[in-house]
Amino acid sequence: MRSSRAKAIASRLGWGAVTLWMFACTETLQVGHMSGPLDDAGGAAGTANGTMASGGMGGSTAQQCERGERLPFQRGQAMLLVLLQRSSSMLTPFDGETRLSAARGALLQATERLRTLVGLIDFPAINTECSARLVVPPGDVGREGTLRRAFRCELPSQINRCFETVDSIPTGDALDEAKDFFHSFAEFPIERRLLLIADGDPTCDATRTDVCSRAVSEASALLTLHSAKTQIVGVGSDSAGATCLGQIALAGGTATASGAGFPVARNAGELNAAIKKAIDEIEEETCTLKINVPFVDPASLDVTIEGRSVRHDPSGMQGWSVENDGRLRFVGDDCRRLRDARSQDVAVYRCGKKIDDQDSSRSVTPR
């Protein structure tokens, strides 16, 4: 059941945008359900003796695999909510621009060509003293240009005084807005993450509770209820002394082993690098496949991308390996190939037998 708060979010944005997002997720998650032989359009080339031949591209090894059952799978999907502080302190000069404009530029650069669905929460929200608002629901921001339009105050939801702001930092409310959105779509098996970009500790809270305690509690709830970690990037040298931000990072599951709660960007270069690193980490979650039927021996699987087999490497250094939860994790060039491939060009087969290149002239007998 969607919460009334989530309905209010959808009402502000229009259910059309949210429905489009749901359709995109559903279409992505249901691929790979076909079984049986593939034709050329399915991404695998059949040989005369009923085997699949695959080349040595992108970490692959030349091999033949007796064509077997095509297994159903789900492609990895990820969702990132960016919580961007837009209070007056973010208008402080920063490496030739302002902290806010530098953060926006870094976000635009880092979100190009992402498979991850990206959304934006502003805090404080436009025309408010102490609240937060989901401005851009998660979607393909690179293709739709919604982040760029939001930063230019060109979205329909951005009414009067878009370029004005106040001197308040309602971090707890921003985290609560993210929690309500995730809760309304809890049934989707998607990796969730938050990126909180701020230059200081929270200073206000709409519930009038302790501002730091509320924010820490919300970050903890996001991790517990939705497995959504909260990554923080501090903007400006003075953010290094933001002790509450460190507590939020700890509660949100991203504090480092050395005790450092979050990276601090002291110039535009460091800000670009920190935001890119945080987004790259969540983007890696799209380099996975979840096989929807049991399998025991990974060596019995043949994974193809655009008709070419991908090497199974148990060490995880190249090709794909199996994680503890059973997902297939792709790395390096094969990760990029998987992200760029159309769903119909990815296939997973249960094979009777695989033989190496030097043995390819021998007949292949199914088990």
135 and 268 belong to one structural domain: yes
Tell me if 124 sits within 8 A of 87, measured CB to CB: yes
* Banded pLDDT at 65 (limits 50, 70, 90): low
Residues 225, 308 share a domain: no
Q: Number of folded domains in the chain?
A: 2
Q: Which residues pair with 198 in a beta bridge?
A: 234
Q: 3-state DSSP helix/strand/coil percent for the chain, to nearest 5?
A: 35, 25, 40
292 within a domain of the structure (yes/no): yes
Confidence tier at 345 by pLDDT (50, 70, 90):
very high
Terminal-residue alpha carbon distance, the chain: 47
Residue 1 lies in a domain: no
In which band, very low, low, confident or very high, does the pLDDT at 44 lie, cut at 50, 70 and 90?
very low
Residue-wise pLDDT for 159-195, tens only, equals 656 777 889 999 999 999 999 999 887 677 789 999 9
Q: In this structure, is residue 15 part of a structural domain?
A: no
**6 within domain boundaries:** no
Residue 53 lies in a domain: yes
- Any bridge partners for residue 234, and if so which? 198, 264
| Token pair listed for 37 | 């032989």
Q: At what angle do helices 211-226 and 243-251 cross, to 10 degrees?
A: 20
Highest-confidence segment of 139-148, 151-160, 211-220 = 211-220
- The residue out of 260, 285, 310 marking a domain boundary is 285
Task: Verify that 241 and 321 share a domain, yes or no.
Answer: no
| Domain membership flag for residue 12 | no
| Ranges 125-129, 162-166, 191-195, 320-324: which has the least confidence | 162-166
Q: Tell me, yes or no, whether 281 and 301 share the same domain.
A: no
In a domain, 9, yes or no: no
Residues 207 and 348 in one domain: no
| Domain final residue, candidates 225, 258, 285 | 285
Distance of CA 139 to the CA centre of its chain: 11
Domain hosting residue 345, numbered range: 36-75+288-359
DSSP state of 246: H
Residue of 31, 61, 59 lying closest to 43 (CA atoms): 31
Domain match, 203 and 336 both = no
List pLDDT tens digits, range 302-312. Answer: 999 999 999 99
Same domain assignment for residues 157 and 123 = yes
Whole-model pTM? 0.78
Both 162 and 267 in a single domain?
yes
- Quick one: 40 and 184 in the same domain? no
Q: Sorting pLDDT into bands at 50, 70 and 90, what band is 366?
A: very low
- Of 285, 308, 333, which closes a domain? 285
Residue 272, both tokens: 């670009």
Do 246 and 314 lie in one domain? The reply is no
Residues 185, 227, single domain; the answer is: yes
Diameter of the chain measured on Cα atoms? 75
Question: Are 187 and 234 contained in the same domain?
Answer: yes
List beta partners, residue 119.
81
129, pLDDT greater than 60: yes
Please answer whether residues 310 and 334 qualify as being in contact, where contact means their C-beta atoms are separated by less than 8 angstroms. yes
Token look-up 């937060």 returns 132
**Is residue 225 domain-resident?**
yes
Helix (H) or strand (E) holding 265: strand 264-265
